[in-house]
Amino acid sequence: MKYLVIGTGGVGGSIAAFLALSGCDVSCIARGEALESIKNRGLIFHSSLKGEHAVPLKAFSAEEYNDKADVIFVTVKGYSIDSIAPVISRASSPETVVIPLLNVYGTGPRIAALSPDAN
């Protein structure tokens, strides 16, 4: 299975790291300094369960990513949902599962309306 994590802050970075450390095929969407850091050094992950790691991940900007994912974790801030709709649409197939992990009411229906091909 291919996993895509959109937003690699505290929540998304932890999900990406745990999946990658478990041997999963994980890509992430980041921006700015975070994107460059992940590309150059890996995702720096500190965990009381797994220890400290520089986790090698495939990292892309939202514009660069052109693959399909089986599972997409959306972990951006609520105000960024509209801006990531194009990458969700490109990365989705009818079988793709999109899991929003945001502390914003109505996120699931909002993402579904923006990306009608995603589940």
Nearest-10 crossing angle of helices 107-114, 81-91: 60
- Spatial separation of the C-alpha atoms in residues 33 and 82, rounded to whole Å: 22
Query: What local confidence, expressed as pLDDT, does residue 33 receive?
Result: 94
2-114 — its CATH code? 3.40.50.720
**3-class SS of residue 65:** coil
Is pLDDT larger for residue 113 or for residue 117? 113
Q: With a cut of 90, say whether residue 108 has pLDDT above it.
A: no
Q: pLDDT for 54-76, tens place per residue?
A: 999 999 999 999 999 999 999 99
User: CA 96 to CA 70: how far, in whole Å?
Assistant: 5
Residue-wise pLDDT for 3-50, tens only, equals 999 999 889 999 999 999 999 999 999 999 999 999 999 999 988 877
